[in-house]
Structure 1
Amino acid sequence: MTVLNSALDTGAPEFAANRAAMLEKLAALDAEHAKALAGGGGKYIARHRARGKLLARERIELLVDPDTPFLELSPLAAWGSDHTVGASLVTGIGVVEGVECVITANDPTVRGGASNPWTLKKALRAHEVAHANRLPLIGLVESGGADLPSQKEIFIPGGALFKDLTRLSAAGIPTVAVVFGNSTAGGAYVPGMSDHVVMVKDRAKVFLGGPPLVKMATGEESDDESLGGAAMHARTSGLADHFAVDETDALRQARRIVARLNWRKAHPDPPPAAPPLYDEDELLGIVPGDVKIPFDPREVVARIVDGSDFDEFKPLYGTSLTTGWAELHGYPVGILANAQGVLFSEESQKAAQFIQLANQRDIPLLFLHNTTGYMVGRAYEQGGIVKHGAMMINAVANSRVPHLSVLMGASYGAGHYGMCGRAYDPRFLFSWPSAKSAVMGPQQLAGVLSIVARASAAAKGQPYDEEADAGLRAVVEQQIESESLPAFLSGRLYDDGVIDPRDTRTVLGICLSAIHTAPVEGTRGGFGVFRM
């Protein structure tokens, strides 16, 4: 039998404590998400509505098919910065006329939809998702261009936005721009470089230079409509392919464009799958509030894979890493899940072999993180932990099947790399509110700094200030702890979002479906040199 038998005791005090800690973190997360939903705040939302305009998420809701999910990406972008949470842009994956698309929507209630450095990072990430998974890109445009006080951080890297649009088109991936308001200066190239353009009557304004700039540059007197209005672009310049009478008409026309794309997925959708045997709500009580306390990742696997059916690979070898085969919403996956936190040589070699097998079979990989990193110490160094850890990282880096990562608990040090952290280009990476990620744990990092400082003082023959040392350790621990938290990391787009553990199966199912729009093909022997 390969169906997992759960040993989770939902009546145990530990389960109740874990669940309470997770719910507290989810409540805090909801408060941060509410900041993104609030956009520019009540005053600017009211002003926007008074102009007869829809909000960014309302536009998305009318664009996507009824009763289908919209997986929002990077909702906490810019968290902890001087900019509004959400970075004045909504991005995500939604279904339009039966076609999975990447959708981006400027939020004009935040500084007129102007782009700051985090907006740029978020938009580039959305383009990356579209390109890697061959998903059509739909941009709902209303932006005043670059937030000028931030221009030094936007202008030069911002050119990649337009480069991406042309490369998506060259790759045969459709791009659609629906212009609801301003799309000026550099922003004019968004519709200019899109395959399909819809503009809204009396609202859309697309020009390289507005009337004041034209007056200053050429002395010419002009107005918005004659210079860059929707009617002019539909009748005179030809930039507008479709002329919409209002916002709902523009969204209707965008849906018709997608309906006529003749778009096909590389892989057919699987038939409906059996749900897990265990309640998804129980995921709230599995991960301890303290990342130092280990937990069995099979309990997580049992609550996210089809029928809780899991064929484990090498279950008696390298037991700190659980590996095996399953299906998730009908899609085959290979799963690597950290059990006890530390990765030893056995786990590293086991992972490398398993990743090679997944590539032979063209099966995507799912990494479930709970690792403090690779084991250190004299015996482990002499046993080859460096070369074995490098073997695992090599396998991850050169694997070509799509990777999905979920940070459940700890994700520290090189273990974060070996488990396909952000730098290793997973197609999607999400965090639970219980996740923490840094070069090492706060206490370990503060302790290392203390040991180094103590040794330096001894080498100089100077007395060591124990009181100052205690103060330094406390400050460092607090800093690393705050910089390890999911909201901090998500704000910097090191993940694609912090999710409720109960939504994990749904989120991964949406991602796997999107992934299979593009061909899923593994590496055939191209892993480079493994140190044996």
Structure 2
Amino acid sequence: MAVLGSRVDTRSDTYRDNRAALLAVLAAHDEQLALARAGGGARYIERHRARGRLLVHERIELLLDRDAHFLELSPLAAWGTEFSVGASIVTGIGVVSGVECVIIANDPTVRGGAMNPHTLRKQLRALEIARRNRLPLIWLVESGGADLPTQADLFIPAGRTFHDLTELSSMGIPTIALVFGNSTAGGAYVPGMCDHAVLVDRQAKVFLGGPPLVKMATGEESDDESLGGAEMHSRVSGVSDYFAADERDCIRIGRQIVADLGWRKLGPGPTEPADEPVHDPDELLGIASADLRVPFDPREVLARVVDGSRFDEYKPLYGTSLVTGWASIHGYPVGILANARGVLFMDEAKKATEFILLANQVDRPLVFLQNTTGYMVGAHYEQSGMIKDGAKMI
């Protein structure tokens, strides 16, 4: 397989300008990530700690294997909206007891972990990733349910969560609920529908209706523990499969459950040498212009991303606005489609269609380096069948 060369001049004014512009964008991006990680802010974090509870990221870190990476998903969900960045929930993929798992974790410092429309979309995406990749799901539960001002937008679509949990179980994909706090009303069905449920003593509260609602509806006097506490659900109702003495014990039990699964994820492991790129990945900062109208050669990007900078290009002389070919990333063979100029013509659509079909024949994952405004428009292209060629690609 050919090794990609490079024509990037790191001493040029263009490179330096591009690098400075992208560093500024990354700094702004990091600020938003910090906001998401800060949850509800210092006041609510202090209140949460005063109750003797771990923060959401601390729970995740304890759940993961030592020194294991956590690939966070949708960290900037709800950015630019009236809701907190991150959408009061953390989702991602991490290694637990040697097994790659999808993790969903409510952040109770943000409005009690209440769900808004962005929270819902984020958790549904995580459930989809678990299903498509056959990864066990671990849900770290502590939520006050729906954010009441948005419940009209949640009532119907939120039911998809229960459908997806059921689908995972029916496909034989393990689902595990670690309940650290409130899981009430509709949220009570999350531990109820998961294959394994672990409840923390004196913290977990799993019930359809709390004491005030029970009093109003039936006149019965009750308390949180008798209605939905961990001990009651472990000794009486059977909703709880494991009784945890505290949060760390809950996490320990969760890790043991995963260890006992004997799980293997979908697809083969790495089959190619996971060599570092020949060209410095740090130089990626200066390749693309901040002006989206300025094109750049995607091969310069690939030369700093794929293993050993090795790339076997497919149809290099045809449909040159789209670069396609074979490579590996961290040892995993992949097919790559990368836009070289702003628009796609009919030749590019045909080339992409053929390449995707070839990748599908050998179950090769596809990586898209997307930089396009779409298909070319105009009378000539419409009359030449642009829609038909584009439809085949789609």
- The TM-score normalised by the length of structure 1 is 0.72
Match of 2:260 in 1: 260
- Decide whether the 8 Å contact of 2:133 with 2:266 is kept in 1: no
What one-letter code is carried by the residue in structure 1 that aligns with 2:354? Q
Secondary structure of 2:157's counterpart equals helix
Deviations 1:234-272 (A, max 9, x none): 111111111111101100110000000111134342255
Residues 1:370 and 2:371 are matched in the alignment: yes
Match of 2:13 in 1: 13
What one-letter code is carried by the residue in structure 1 that aligns with 2:381? Y
Alpha-carbon RMSD: 1.2
Match of 1:457 in 2: none
Distance 2:363 2:373 in 1: 29
Secondary structure of 1:381's counterpart equals helix
Distance 1:302 1:98 in 2: 31
* 1:391 shift after superposition: 2.5
Residues 1:63 and 2:63 are matched in the alignment: yes
What one-letter code is carried by the residue in structure 1 that aligns with 2:301? V
Secondary structure of 1:153's counterpart equals helix
Deviations 1:49-81 (A, max 9, x none): 011100111100000111111011111111122
Match of 1:213 in 2: 213
Match of 1:392 in 2: 393
Deviations 1:430-485 (A, max 9, x none): xxxxxxxxxxxxxxxxxxxxxxxxxxxxxxxxxxxxxxxxxxxxxxxxxxxxxxxx
Match of 1:315 in 2: 316
Deviations 1:115-167 (A, max 9, x none): 11111111111111111111100000011111112111112211111121111
Match of 1:142 in 2: 142
Match of 1:299 in 2: 300
Query: Which structure 2 residues correspond to residues 125-524 of structure 1 after superposition, within 5 A?
Result: 125-270=125-270, 273-393=274-394
What one-letter code is carried by the residue in structure 2 that aligns with 1:16? R
Distance 1:9 1:104 in 2: 43
Secondary structure of 1:323's counterpart equals strand
Distance 1:181 1:135 in 2: 25
List structure 1 segments (4+ residues) > 4 angstroms apart after TM superposition. Answer: none
* 1:277 shift after superposition: 0.7
Distance 2:380 2:149 in 1: 55
Out of 269-278 and 46-55, give the one that drifted further: 269-278
* 1:25 shift after superposition: 0.5
* Corresponding pairs, count: 393
Quickly say closer, same or farther: Cα 1:268–1:355, change in 2 above 3 A. Answer: closer
Deviations 1:361-413 (A, max 9, x none): 221111111112222233333433232222322xxxxxxxxxxxxxxxxxxxx
What one-letter code is carried by the residue in structure 1 that aligns with 2:179? V
Match of 1:459 in 2: none
Quickly say closer, same or farther: Cα 1:321–1:179, change in 2 above 3 A. Answer: same
Deviations 1:472-506 (A, max 9, x none): xxxxxxxxxxxxxxxxxxxxxxxxxxxxxxxxxxx
Distance 1:190 1:41 in 2: 27
What one-letter code is carried by the residue in structure 1 that aligns with 2:373? T
Secondary structure of 2:323's counterpart equals strand
Name structure 1 gaps, 5 residues minimum. Answer: 394-532
Distance 1:287 1:129 in 2: 30
Match of 2:2 in 1: 2
Distance 1:149 1:382 in 2: 50
Distance 2:387 2:220 in 1: 68
State the percentage of identical aligned residues: 69
What one-letter code is carried by the residue in structure 1 that aligns with 2:9? D
Distance 1:178 1:169 in 2: 16
* 1:313 shift after superposition: 0.9
